[in-house]
């Protein structure tokens, strides 16, 4: 369908959960972050415009499934369970879960979280990784709507640790020196995972976005965006 510019650019609706800095967060009323820059570049290359809305995690997941939203972009890990319901682009970022705990916490690795109250964002791989270690219905795994809320629970002492994606954990610890928290890395009990752009099953967008993603990986655009958000 032609828009008012006479071009055939279509505007795609994108859902996100914008308390996930540095990937997506609100700044002056706008969703900003690594994912936003990356998606804008990929969409432009694919010939689309995107309108990114902070829908929250659950609404994003439901909306992409029922096709009321075209794309989910929220540091979303590609995994077997999600691949039953969604299609994903090629991976665009490697991540791994990480622990955030008070500086004086005795926790040294994920196994030490046993019998500790763990805060996770509901429905994320932080929850899945914690459940894989301590059981699905473990009452010590407390689920919050956003990772920001899980961090607040840590500040309040409602939980003793948070499990979330490493870049988000690191950003939170760096930006909040007053909170006296640290990150704890565990590459034995947590394993690498990969983010993808999420589409509904059999979406025609996947092939176009994969091609565009390859292009911006090749031509240096990805590196530029990466450097902007993560340094060299
Ligand atoms: N990467 C994690 C997941 O996909 C967390 C994503 C998020 O909280 N935005 O579950």
The DSSP output letter for 157 is T
The DSSP output letter for 192 is -
Confidence of residue 55 (pLDDT cuts 50, 70, 90): very high
The strand pairing partners of 52, in sequence order, are 14
CATH 3.30.70.3460 given to domain 10-93+194-230: no
Ligand 1 centroid from CA 123, angstroms: 8
Ligand 1 centroid from CA 212, angstroms: 23
Ligand 1: does its nearest atom lie under 6 Å from the Cβ of 75?
Answer: yes
Residue ranges of domains in the chain: 10-93+194-230, 97-184
ipTM above 0.95, yes or no: yes
Q: Which of 74, 128, 166 to mutate to test the pocket of ligand 1 (most atoms within 8 A of CB)?
A: 74
Closest CA to 116 of 147, 151, 154: 154
What is the per-residue DSSP string for 90-146? S--EEE-EEEEEETT----SGGGGTTS-EEEETTSHHHHHHHHHH-TT-TTEEEESS
Predicted confidence at residue 10, as pLDDT, reads 86
For range 63-78, the mean pLDDT: 98
For range 65-82, the mean pLDDT: 98
Q: Which of 55, 75, 197 to mutate to test the pocket of ligand 1 (most atoms within 8 A of CB)?
A: 75
Q: Where are the alpha helices (DSSP H) in the chain?
A: 34-46, 57-65, 80-83, 125-134, 147-156, 166-175, 205-218, 221-230
* Residues 62, 39: Cα–Cα separation, whole Å: 20
Q: Determine the atom of ligand 1 nearest the C-alpha atom of 146.
A: 8
Question: What is the pTM assigned to this prediction?
Answer: 0.94
For range 105-124, the mean pLDDT: 98
Q: Determine the atom of ligand 1 nearest the C-alpha atom of 195.
A: 1
Predicted confidence at residue 9, as pLDDT, reads 53
With a cut of 60, say whether residue 3 has pLDDT above it. Answer: no
Confidence of residue 2 (pLDDT cuts 50, 70, 90): very low
The DSSP output letter for 76 is P
Predicted confidence at residue 155, as pLDDT, reads 97
With a cut of 50, say whether residue 5 has pLDDT above it. Answer: no
Residue 64 tokens read as 């992409």
With a cut of 60, say whether residue 6 has pLDDT above it. Answer: no
Query: Residues 10-42: pLDDT tens digits?
Result: 899 999 999 999 999 999 999 999 999 999 999
CATH 3.40.190.10 given to domain 97-184: yes
Closest residue (by CA) to atom 5 of ligand 1?
A: 124
Ligand 1 centroid from CA 43, angstroms: 21
Closest residue (by CA) to atom 8 of ligand 1?
A: 124
């Amino acid at each position: 369908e032609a828009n008012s510019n006479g071009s055939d650019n279509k505007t795609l609706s994108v859902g996100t959960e914008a308390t996930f800095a540095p990937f997506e967060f609100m700044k002056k009323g706008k969703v900003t972050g690594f994912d936003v820059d990356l998606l804008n570049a990929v969409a432009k290359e694919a010939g689309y415009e995107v309108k990114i809305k902070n829908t929250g995690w659950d609404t994003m997941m439901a909306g992409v499934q029922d096709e009321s939203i075209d794309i989910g972009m929220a540091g979303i890990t590609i995994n077997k369970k999600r691949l039953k319901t969604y299609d994903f682009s090629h991976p665009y970022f490697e991540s791994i879960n990480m622990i955030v705990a008070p500086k004086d916490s005795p926790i040294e690795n994920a196994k030490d979280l046993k019998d500790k109250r763990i805060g996770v964002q509901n429905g994320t791989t932080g929850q899945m990784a914690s459940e894989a270690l301590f059981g699905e219905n473990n009452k010590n795994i407390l689920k919050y709507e956003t990772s920001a809320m899980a961090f607040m629970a840590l500040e309040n002492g409602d939980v003793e640790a948070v499990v979330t994606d490493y870049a988000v954990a690191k950003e939170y610890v760096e930006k909040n020196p007053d909170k006296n928290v640290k990150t704890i890395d565990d590459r034995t009990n947590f394993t690498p995972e990969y983010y993808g752009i999420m589409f509904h099953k059999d979406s025609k967008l996947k092939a176009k976005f994969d091609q565009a993603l390859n292009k911006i990986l090749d031509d240096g655009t990805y590196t530029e965006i990466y450097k902007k958000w993560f340094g060299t």
